[in-house]
Amino acid sequence: MKATVKMTYVVIRRPRWLKERNEHFYNYDEKDFMIRFRLSKAATYNLLLKIENQLEFMSERNQSISPINQLLTTLRFYATNNTQLATGDFSGFSVSTAHRIHRVSAAIASLHQEYVKFPTKRQEIQQEQSNFYQIAKFPRAIGAMDCTHVRITSPGGDQAEIFRNRKGYFCINVQTICNANMEITDIVARWPRSCHDSTIFNNCYRKAIFYVRHNGDALLLVDYGYASTSYTMPPLENPKTPLEHLYNESQIRSRNPIERSYGIWKRRYTSELF
C-alpha cells in the first residue's frame, strides 16, 4: 500500500517598505529653501493654496502623498532638471510616484488665465504705454516680444526632427510678450523649434487682435526677425542718420525687458531646460 504525502506550501509575502518622506518645507530655513526650490516659502505656500484641491487624493489609503510634498518635488525638478529617480529619492518617493510632476505641472499651468493677462482696457493700455515710455522715451509700446527655446524629450514619430535645434536637443520655440516690468502678458508654447519666430506670431491670436486694431494705436517692440508693420516695430538694420541711430537706441533699450525676463527665467531654473 502506497503512502500519500500531502504537501503544504506557505507563501510568505514580501514585507512592504515605505520610504521616509522628508518635510522639506519645515526642515529648511528661508535661505536654504530658496536655494533648493527657487521660490520663497511664502510664494510656495500661496501657490499651494491655489492648486491644493487639484492635488488632493480621495482617500488616505496607501499613505497618499500630501499636496505640499507633490509641489516641492515638482519645484525641485524645475530647479535641477534632475532625473525623476533622483527627484524621487530626494523627497522619499518611489520612481512611479515622481511621475506626479506632470500632474502638478498641469495644475500650475491651469492658473495662466489668472496671471498671464494682456491689457485690453483703455486705462490698462495707457498705463503700459506710459511704463515703456519711461524707459527710453519710446511712444505707444504696449509690450516687448521674442521667442526662446524650451527643452523637451523627443516626441518620437516621423516629425520628431523638426523639434531638434542646432545644439542637438529637442525643444519647442516659445513666444512670450512682456510688459515694462518683465511680467509675461501673453505666451504661445506649442510650436516646434523649426518654426521661425515670425511664423509663430503670424499664426497666433494676438497678431489678429493687433491687425484689427482692437488695441488702438498700441504696438509691440520686436527684434530683426519680425517685419515692420503698423503694430510691430523692429530696430533699423542699417541706421545712417542721427535720428535713425536715436530710434535704434530707444527701441533696443525699451525692448530690453523681454531679454531680461528670459535671463531671470533661466537663472531661476536650470539652464538645462533651455
For the chain, the domains span 24-112, 117-273
Q: What is the pLDDT along the chain (274 residues), one digit of tens a residue?
A: 555 666 666 666 666 555 556 778 888 999 999 988 999 999 999 999 999 999 887 656 655 788 998 898 888 888 887 766 556 656 666 666 667 788 999 999 999 999 999 999 999 999 999 999 999 999 999 999 999 999 888 888 888 999 998 888 899 999 999 999 999 999 999 999 889 999 999 999 999 999 998 888 999 999 999 999 999 999 999 999 999 999 999 999 999 999 999 999 888 887 556 6
Q: Can you tell me the distance from the alpha carbon of 87 to that of 72, in angstroms, rounded to the nearest whole number?
A: 10
| SS3 state at 146 | strand
Strands laid side by side in the 232-233 sheet: 184-192, 171-178, 141-151, 219-221, 232-233
